[in-house]
């Protein structure tokens, strides 16, 4: 491992070559040994790499990287260390010292680099513009009944839910939401089939939570969400992965000095994570109206992260592939806000391994090569590959997903401003890859009509239904295949919720059930709950006048998050047992004194 830079670049280069060249065969005349094609991050020709970028090589194990010489046009030869990816199919060179803004970096290897001639890679370091200025954090206006309160868990004060419609035929499974603007606590929240609370985890006061759902990691169902701070509509945080016991098992952060953003946290079948990031850089924006030659522009970044190591495996920068002139958003002249011309808000890995990325502010989806980063097609926007029927046109969209049969679902916000549509809708498009057309195959509209300016999603369920979150607006609705609402609920207050999902979930917390009691006259009431436990069918109350004399006095079915159980006679001490559907004891609470 090299830790120090040398004063003489040719000596540094020789040392780097000696350390890293053990597995490379250099043939007479300078020819290189044949090897497999190797993809790199940064992609050859990239113009907006971070000064803290790592050099990722995918396609060979760490021991076969061979000689790597990394030279900045201003900073000279860089020492560093090599770390292998967890799957053994790649490795990264991590420079010991950051690169300098604006310089061109040349990487010389003995590898067959995709998109680079003779094993030599070049890319350019961006001019970073620093952080994004924070905006005032909104808070939901207080209204009557806007929070839930539980005597057994006074520490939990989640936003309250009102079920507006609950018709037969809804897809079995729990509902996953995450209120973002209080009014008291924010956090990931699981609701039962019919809207009652199952689990809630409050987060620190300034944190937001988004994209809360069930995914698969290491072959098991897990809970995942993004958590962090939000400034000017973009996030600075990390992805969280929790197991079925509600224990954190992994954290995913952005690589190359970039922060993980709130808009996507997608786990892949390969055990990696697809995340978004926003990178403020200085660049020439004179190609757009009112744009100066030196402007702060947000580069929308897609990263694939190796979860065990935190190393980047793939990176796509919008500024390398999508010009500013494709944006439908005007340059913010006269303000200090950065120009968010693209605004990436969803990523999906298609069945062919390539990625589909949504750009909210270009009104388009982009299919990109999961290796070279090249744009394979555009759907929507100013340069659409597909001719889109008038009823199928969308604006400021979120959550674009590709499905079998050339179908595409998305949440069409339709409001930015400007207000393109009269109401937001969840739509399904049918693509014709031969004639390159896109037509409207279906839409789900809320009654009464709702127009969301940001956020939202459209989840396709296994029974053909769709679970639609309204983002900025407090509603989340399940529609059947005929477009009829079979479940409709809302936050009591005017809350935000980035996406709403429905999934089957089984949770077994390691915590104990919570219990408290209250006496009013000659009546005694016991309150029992167990945050996150999905297997509880009933509560058994044990009571007695001493801690050692507890006996079973009543058993009551579990009907909501908190059981409210009347005792037949007053007792000084109580405890509860959580029972499954067969009457077996799952767990017992502490014994408490009732006063």
CB atoms within 10 A of CB 444: 23
Q: What is the pLDDT at residue 234?
A: 92
User: Sheet of 523-529: strands edge to edge?
Assistant: 514-520, 523-529, 562-566
Q: What is the pLDDT at residue 174?
A: 98
Q: Round to whole Å and give the CA distance between 451 and 425.
A: 8
Residue 75 tokens, joined = 């900073």
377-401 pLDDT, tens digit per residue, is: 999 999 999 999 999 999 999 999 9
Q: Round to whole Å and give the CA distance between 284 and 332.
A: 14
- Secondary-structure class of domain 161-503 per CATH: mainly beta
Q: 514-593: which CATH topology?
A: Immunoglobulin-like (2.60.40)
Pick the CATH number of 9-124 from 2.30.110.10, 2.60.40.3710, 3.40.50.620, 2.60.40.1930: 2.60.40.3710
470-510 pLDDT, tens digit per residue, is: 999 999 999 999 999 999 999 999 999 999 999 999 999 99
Alpha carbon of 69 to those of 61, 74, 110, 458, 515: distances in Å?
18, 15, 10, 47, 64
Residue closest to 594 by CA, chosen among 547, 557, 560, 562: 547
Indicate the pTM of the whole model: 0.94
CB 507 within 8 A of CB 533: yes
Using the structure block, give the residue that is written with the tokens 């001019």: 127
Cis peptide before 417 (omega within 30 of 0): yes
DSSP 471: B
Please, what's the b/e burial string for 556-583 (b: 16 or more CB within 10 A of its CB; e: otherwise)? bebeebbbbbebeeebbbbbbbbbeeee
Residues of the chain whose pLDDT is less than 50? 1-33
Q: Where in the chain is the domain with CATH 2.60.40.3710?
A: 9-124
Helix (H) or strand (E) holding 11: helix 9-20
Q: What is the pLDDT at residue 232?
A: 81
Using the structure block, give the residue that is written with the tokens 């970044």: 301
Alpha carbon of 91 to those of 64, 263, 309, 546: distances in Å?
9, 27, 10, 64
407-448 pLDDT, tens digit per residue, is: 999 999 999 889 999 999 999 999 999 999 999 999 999 999
Contacts of 3 (CB under 8 A, 6+ apart): 79, 96
82-124 pLDDT, tens digit per residue, is: 999 999 999 999 999 999 999 999 999 999 999 999 999 999 9
Collapsed DSSP state (helix, strand, coil) of residue 378: strand
Q: What is the pLDDT at residue 17?
A: 38
Q: Round to whole Å and give the CA distance between 542 and 579.
A: 13
Rg of the chain over CA atoms, in angstroms?
27
Q: What is the pLDDT at residue 298?
A: 98
Question: Which percentage of the chain shows pLDDT scores above 70?
Answer: 94
Helix (H) or strand (E) holding 12: helix 9-20
CB atoms within 10 A of CB 411: 32
Contacts of 90 (CB under 8 A, 6+ apart): 56, 57, 58, 59, 60, 61, 62, 84, 313
């Amino acid at each position: 491992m090299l830790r120090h830079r040398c004063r003489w670049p040719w000596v540094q280069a020789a040392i780097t070559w000696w350390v890293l060249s053990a597995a490379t065969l250099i043939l007479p005349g300078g020819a290189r040994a044949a090897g497999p094609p190797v993809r790199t991050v940064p992609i050859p020709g990239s113009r907006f790499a971070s000064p803290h970028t790592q050099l990722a090589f995918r396609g060979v194990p760490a021991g076969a990287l061979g000689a790597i010489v990394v030279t900045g046009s201003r900073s000279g030869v860089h020492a560093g260390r090599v770390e292998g990816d967890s799957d053994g199919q790649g490795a990264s060179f991590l420079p010991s010292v950051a690169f300098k803004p604006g310089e061109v970096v040349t990487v010389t290897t003995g590898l067959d680099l995709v998109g680079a001639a003779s094993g030599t890679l070049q890319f350019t370091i961006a001019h970073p513009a620093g952080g994004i200025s924070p905006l005032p954090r909104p808070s939901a206006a207080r209204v009557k009944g806007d929070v839930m309160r539980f005597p057994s868990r006074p520490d939990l004060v989640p936003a309250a839910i009102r079920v507006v419609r609950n018709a037969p035929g809804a897809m079995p499974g729990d509902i996953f939401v995450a209120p973002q603007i209080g009014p008291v606590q924010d956090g990931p929240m699981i609701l039962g089939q019919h809207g009652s609370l199952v689990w809630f985890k409050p987060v620190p006061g300034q944190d937001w939570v988004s994209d809360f759902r069930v995914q698969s990691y290491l072959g098991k169902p897990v809970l995942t969400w993004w958590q962090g701070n939000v400034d000017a509509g973009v996030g600075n945080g990390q992805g969280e992965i929790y197991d079925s016991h509600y224990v954190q098992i992994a954290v995913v952060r952005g690589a190359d000095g970039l922060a993980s953003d709130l808009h996507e946290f997608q786990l892949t079948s390969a055990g990696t994570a697809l995340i978004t990031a926003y990178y403020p850089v200085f660049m020439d924006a004179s190609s757009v109206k009112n744009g100066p030659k030196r402007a702060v522009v947000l580069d929308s970044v897609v990263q694939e992260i190796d979860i065990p190591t935190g190393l980047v495996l793939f990176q796509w920068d919008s500024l390398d592939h999508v010009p500013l002139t494709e944006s439908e958003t005007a340059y913010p002249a006269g303000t200090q806000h950065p120009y968010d011309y693209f605004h990436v808000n969803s990523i999906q890995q298609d069945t062919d391994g390539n990625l589909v990325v949504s750009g909210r502010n270009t009104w388009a989806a982009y299919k990109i090569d999961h290796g070279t980063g090249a744009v394979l097609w555009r759907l929507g926007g100013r340069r659409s590959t597909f001719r889109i029927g008038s009823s199928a046109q969308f604006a400021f969209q979120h959550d674009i997903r590709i499905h079998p049969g050339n179908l595409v679902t998305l949440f069409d916000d339709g409001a930015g401003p400007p207000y393109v549509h009269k109401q937001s809708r969840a739509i399904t498009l049918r693509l014709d890859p031969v004639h390159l057309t896109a037509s409207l195959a279906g839409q789900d509209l809320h009654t009464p009509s709702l127009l969301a300016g940001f956020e939202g999603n459209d989840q396709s369920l296994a029974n053909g239904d769709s679970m639609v979150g309204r983002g900025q607006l407090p509603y989340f609705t399940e529609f059947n295949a005929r477009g009829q609402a079979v479940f409709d609920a809302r936050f009591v207050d005017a809350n935000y919720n980035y996406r709403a999902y429905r999934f089957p979930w089984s949770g077994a917390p390691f915590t104990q059930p919570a219990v408290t009691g209250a006496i009013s006259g000659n009546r005694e009431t016991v309150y029992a709950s167990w945050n996150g436990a999905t297997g509880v069918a009933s509560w058994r109350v044990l009571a007695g006048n001493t801690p050692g004399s507890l006996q079973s006095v009543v058993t009551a079915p579990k009907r909501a998050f908190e059981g409210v159980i009347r005792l037949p006679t007053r007792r000084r001490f109580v405890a509860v047992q959580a029972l499954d559907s067969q009457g077996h004891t799952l767990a017992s609470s502490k014994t408490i004194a009732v006063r």
